[in-house]
Amino acid sequence: MTIRVLHPITRLIIGGAQENTIITAQQLRGRGWDTTIVSGPQTGSEGSLIEATQDEGIPLILEPTLVREVNPIKDLQALFRLIKLMRKGGFTIVHTHSSKAGILGRWAAKFAGVPIIVHTVHGWGHHERQHPLIRAYYILLEKLTLPITDKLIVVSALNTEKGLQDGIGLPENYVVIRSGIELDRFGHPKVAPAATRAAWGIPADAPVVGTVTRLSPQKAPLDFL
């Protein structure tokens, strides 16, 4: 029997969660699993991975009612449309990604009778910068959705710690699977350390640390500095 997997995700912008999802779908397809991604059509300033997903030959469904912002009408429409999609597709596993698709996708899978439901926490949707009521609401949604979730996958132990601190589940609900890196994509450039230090005005004996990140509050580049 062919294992059929559906990956709901809110947006296919250029980002770690999206690249993780695409690579997961690629790897599963390479193992003979029938894997499909369903995403909302929205993009952002980060750029889009919609065409890249299609170029990889991964079946992609763009669901117009799946949007990032809270929209009761569209959210309800998305829920029912996802239920219909999952029933028609006969999926064995629904593996959700990102906050909105994570909530709607898991409940749709439950109502559609999907045997296995998992969710990857690439980063929690609630944080300290939100209004306390909004943050509490998002935490409540995660708590209510956890009982229908077979496993929460987190990309770092810190995500587990944060979830537990906020009262979302128990340690046994979580498993850490860190995001892999396709090293071949970056090549192996030959650089002369001394010349590079000289070009940047860095003393020969000074320790050097660096980071590659998006300049946004979520990535907190000033904390690194």
Query: What's the whole-model pTM score?
Result: 0.87
- Note the pLDDT tens digit of each residue in 14-31: 998 999 999 999 999 999
- The pLDDT score that the predictor gives to residue 10 is 97
Q: What is the DSSP string of 38-80?
A: EE-S---TT-B-HHHHHHTT--EEE-TT--SS--HHHHHHHHH
Q: Cα separation of 194 and 203, whole Å?
A: 9
Residue range 159-173, pLDDT digits in tens: 999 999 999 999 999
Tell me: pLDDT of 212 over 90: no
The CA distance from 114 to 148, in Å, is 11
The Cα 174–Cα 162 span in angstroms is 12
First-to-final CA distance of the chain: 52
Interval 54-99: pLDDT, tens? 999 999 999 999 999 999 999 999 999 999 999 999 999 999 999 9
With vertex at residue 145, the alpha carbon angle to CA 163 and CA 101, rounded to the nearest 5 degrees, is: 90
Q: Give which of 29, 9, 34 is closest to 19, Cα–Cα.
A: 9
Number of CB atoms found within 10 A of residue 34's CB: 16
Calpha distance 166→202 (Å, rounded): 43
Go through the domains of the chain in sequence order and give each one's CATH number: 4-176 (3.40.50.2000), 188-224 (no CATH)
As given in the structure block, the two tokens for residue 108 are: 């749709």
Please report how many Cα atoms fall inside a 13 Å half-sphere around the Cα of residue 6, on the Cβ side.
28
pLDDT above 80 for 190: no
Tell me if 11 sits within 8 A of 47, measured CB to CB: no
Q: How confident is the model at residue 111 (pLDDT cuts 50, 70, 90)?
A: very high
